[in-house]
Amino acid sequence: MRLSIDVGGTFTDILLTSSGGWAEAFKASTTYPDPIEGIVAGLELAAASRGFSVEKLLGETESLFHSTTRAINAVVTGNVARTALLVTQGHPDILLIREGGRTDPFNYKVSYPPGYISRALTFEIPERVCADGRIHKAFDEAAALRVIERLKAEPSLIDLSVEGAQVVSPTVLKPNQRVRMALAEGKRPIRFSAGVAWASFELAKAGPQYRAGIEFFDAEAEAVQKFCDSKKKKT
């Protein structure tokens, strides 16, 4: 007997299958903050249908498959702490190349919404798994640990990448507006895309202006951090 568990945002689904070809599905409510309670409730339903206890059901289970959408739900809704993405080398745009993010996918005048995770917080890790499950290139655990240590040691990098900065502009700025920005640094300015998180109108001595909070989308974090550090030294 095989047992499959899928924990979704609303429901937890349990599927029992056998080599003989029969299958039964059961559904329980997903529980927060501990999803295990919902899983146990689903297992109790599955066990009762067979006249088993949960212990006997699990004892006769030859293989168990578990999946969940909790992580991607948190990222999509933004209901998550500051998050970095460690992804297979060569695929840093996995969350940026998308069609489902637009409300009208056939209207190409509509901009994509902001990326789920900042490009500056996306890190590529050497590894590759083939479509048939074979390991083409082993996971580089040392590389992943280096990234984790870097994030722990450089909290300012995370703050800068995710929270962005404030800007003042005579041009109208509105929330959710996408803009292109440039930081003058030597002969080669740092250019990147950004989104307006919030904006307010001000009457300054020099005239009307807009103050806005900007979130960086695809800035090179190291270059921006170097720029900020150079300005701190001058002040």
Q: Are 201 and 208 in contact (CB under 8 A)?
A: yes
End-to-end CA distance of the chain: 69
Structure token pair of residue 54: 């949960």
pTM score over 0.85: no
| SS3 state of residue 132 | coil
The residue with tokens 């590389």 is: 143
State how far the Cα of 42 lies from the Cα of 67, in Å rounded to an integer.
14
Question: What averages of pLDDT result for each successive group of 10 residues across the chain (235 residues)?
Answer: 92 91 93 92 94 93 91 76 85 71 65 66 90 92 90 55 66 81 71 77 79 73 70 56
196 pairs with which residues across the strands?
A: 214
Q: Each residue of 135-145: pLDDT tens digit?
A: 999 999 999 99
- CATH number at 2-70: 3.30.420.40
Residue 201, class by beta-carbon neighbours within 10 Å (0-12 exposed, 13-18 middle, 19+ buried)? Answer: exposed
pLDDT in tens, 213-225: 777 766 666 676 6
Instruction: Indicate the domain borders of the chain.
Output: 2-70, 83-154, 160-234
Per residue in 129-176, pLDDT (tens digit) is: 998 889 999 999 999 999 888 877 764 444 444 445 677 888 888 877
